[in-house]
Structure 1
């Protein structure tokens, strides 16, 4: 993406983190300043008080635990009965955070995996999986990853019934979901009650700062990655203290596989599969976000960090005030959002944002910052430092002594009445030719928009029609994207 688009291309949860009048000071290693011994002792007491209060927020109640356990057991029994009727060698596992006691109060996810023998062909596995899924969740619907599975709601819980192959090693996987039982067992072998409690605390922290979730909209920390990090650093506080001093790229290899190299900002080699980086989807922004809030929290612990808050929508008067203060030119391209799940939609939106902003930059409309949103409609939004250009543009040619290229350049413009020149500047030919687009709107409303890199479904949506808003016209977006625009004009780490 062009350097001008400096913010991460995903929506962030925000909250107002309490700050002292003076920003916390940091030492040269990037961690919080230590202060006097009394300061450290007071801060440790504050930290423990906040952590204790946060545990009350994130830990499920006894009633929550019992209700989940009852429903999960019932679902596993249903799935097992249906699966063994179809294949006597099948078995059923409850996996994920609800199986490991690492789920946060309020979470409502139950994952049931149905394992079939590895010699079963994929078509039969898919067919059996759907049959078991519908028997387990009668009102469920089918969704598709590498193969179909059943998703539905049972008594307020979101339930996935997923078929996979039962394998001896995660290196033998035939589809991505085959890894999950290995992940589940690896963590069950390592998580005691204290570490499980710290995982819940860490997930609450990650959710509060807007860095939790491996979906391709958020590109943050997955549940599995979070649990591995807590195990690696011995708990919530150990992870924050380490993250506060990370110097990416950070490389962790829990089982010392030592076989693969990766170029991601955070590398956590999958303990069950040495060829995989568990943190591959985690963006550099979210790694930095964890570092930022880890430092702030260790220096100034406060329970509000565990409370994700949706910002109030930006008002029209506030938006106009921002535009007047910034003296930039906002532009937006709005179109009907393609009917895709977020993991398919957002990569296409990010690609389209990159393509459109690069196209604007290439034509001299300097992009200051940009982002993309989606709801019923989708928007590519950017601010321009330069929104209009002169009617002519400069085209610098080769040095005269580069005979073939120089003659070609000269002859291309010599008889063009609409071109100034060619003339010489130093040893080079220069021509001033008519500019194709003198305003950003002209470019965005032209067919040349389709020459930039666009996501396939976004391009189709644009072909069906789109709107361009420039300057104060972007107030039209407030009704649907008022919260997103507040995030944009009130940015936080």
Structure 2
């Protein structure tokens, strides 16, 4: 399903000429007229790219209306109280030219039980999209393609308030209704520009791989600040945690760097999925773009894969030790896979640090295979390690420590250093590779499906051996070794 989720007399005053100037590069105490003109020129050029033309709009509307009618007939045949609503960016006119997502939500009466709703929903989906296939989010829905458009037919409950939701999709119609009343044509145009900007800087998308800004969040931010330009100006000066509460609910406290209370559901932070990195990324590029507007900010970077020569040059220059665990990628959708990969990365890096193999930086990659990749400042340690005991005057603990190691033929000591017992004992692993190749790897916090794949077998790659990753992850390795904000 799409990543979705506002009145001409908006609180932003979006209909006035002065506010239109503000959106297209209006006044700011640090801006000179030349920068304002360049800002306006760049935004105008972006709008030429992202605004759907009349023919594209007509094509989408014809397909959406035809399928919504088909869905409504099928739904009311099954349940007299059902109705159909189009939701998402194509319903709110905030979609970018070339986007092909049409989301049709079939709303059933709340007295229907969940099992029946799912059954009816699939029946309506297949009646609407005879060649469609079933997918599963919080519950099953039907997805298909019609005349080049990607169509989702999704069942939900018809409720009076978003606070009554039984599943996440029940909230979506309320988002559409809220913003339809508030986004006029000018603000909708600014939303499209803002979305393209976030795409260009790599911060758009609420999937759990990206952990960026959803469509609905972007729309709320543009609405709240009154346009694209004011949003950038505000973001450039954000001091996280940033808290916005469009409807003044003021009832919940969240620990996220960006908090935007859902106007339709005060218990939800719309920005909860946004990672601190993506909040900071928007801040960085907002400052850069205001200072020197350019079309390049709206164009996603697609770097060439790193070559073996380049990778070896990086390794030689950095003098760290690269090390990787490579295994078959679990058969999971991205929103399930990436949290497990991050958990596994954190567990493995903690395992390194606990054993003295200091991690410089770490990441994960996924495709046909999956990789936990780390650079180590220290990859080998001495055969012995120091183990500090309690102070001698803490009698019960001190005596227990002393007795444990006094008769250990492989330990040095115990001896007294300052006021405490110390022993030097044999280290469990003298190399990071040995740790990864041992059963102790499974003692760290791993994602459940990742652990299952590792139990089936995995490769440990150290030093120049990581060059074998270039075939599948050349672009990811370039991004790693040539990082940018």
Class of the TM-score when normalised by the shorter of the 2 chains = over 0.9
Question: Which of the residues 64, 70, 74 maps onto 1:78?
Answer: 70
Asked whether 1:409 is paired with 2:401, we answer: yes
Asked whether 1:165 is paired with 2:157, we answer: yes
Displacement after TM superposition at 1:56 (Å): 0.9
Asked whether 1:251 is paired with 2:207, we answer: no
Question: Structure with the greater relative contact order (CA < 8 A, sep ≥ 6): 1 or 2?
Answer: 1
- Give runs of aligned pairs for residues 307-456 of structure 1, distance below 5 A: 307-456=299-448
Cα displacement string for residues 321-377 of structure 1 (whole angstroms, at most 9, x for unaligned residues): 000000000000000000000000000000000000000110000000000010000
Question: Which of the residues 103, 107, 129 maps onto 1:111?
Answer: 103
State the partner residue of 1:227: 219
Q: Over aligned residue pairs, what C-alpha RMSD do you find?
A: 1.1
Separation in structure 2 between the aligned mates of residue 154 and residue 60 of structure 1, nearest angstrom: 19
Displacement after TM superposition at 1:489 (Å): 0.4
Cα displacement string for residues 194-220 of structure 1 (whole angstroms, at most 9, x for unaligned residues): 000000000000000000000011100
Separation in structure 1 between the aligned mates of residue 254 and residue 89 of structure 2, nearest angstrom: 27
Q: Secondary structure at the match of 2:134?
A: strand
Separation in structure 1 between the aligned mates of residue 55 and residue 303 of structure 2, nearest angstrom: 32
State the partner residue of 2:479: 487
State the partner residue of 1:53: 45
State the partner residue of 1:8: none
Separation in structure 2 between the aligned mates of residue 409 and residue 272 of structure 1, nearest angstrom: 60
Separation in structure 2 between the aligned mates of residue 170 and residue 243 of structure 1, nearest angstrom: 28
Name stretches of at least 5 consecutive residues in structure 1 with no aligned partner: 1-31
Name stretches of at least 5 consecutive residues in structure 2 with no aligned partner: 1-26
State the partner residue of 2:81: 89
Displacement after TM superposition at 1:487 (Å): 0.2
Separation in structure 2 between the aligned mates of residue 330 and residue 430 of structure 1, nearest angstrom: 33
Question: Which of the residues 160, 164, 171 maps onto 1:179?
Answer: 171
State the partner residue of 1:27: none
Displacement after TM superposition at 1:68 (Å): 1.0
Separation in structure 2 between the aligned mates of residue 471 and residue 195 of structure 1, nearest angstrom: 52
Cα displacement string for residues 448-484 of structure 1 (whole angstroms, at most 9, x for unaligned residues): 0000000000000000110000000000000000000
- Give runs of aligned pairs for residues 23-34 of structure 1, distance below 5 A: none
Separation in structure 2 between the aligned mates of residue 337 and residue 289 of structure 1, nearest angstrom: 28
Displacement after TM superposition at 1:33 (Å): 10
Question: Which of the residues 120, 127, 137 maps onto 2:129?
Answer: 137
Q: Secondary structure at the match of 1:379?
A: strand
Separation in structure 1 between the aligned mates of residue 55 and residue 451 of structure 2, nearest angstrom: 50
Q: Secondary structure at the match of 1:480?
A: helix
State the partner residue of 1:5: none
- Alpha carbons of structure 1 residues 171 and 264: separation in structure 2 relative to 1, 3 Å: same
Q: How many residues align?
A: 459
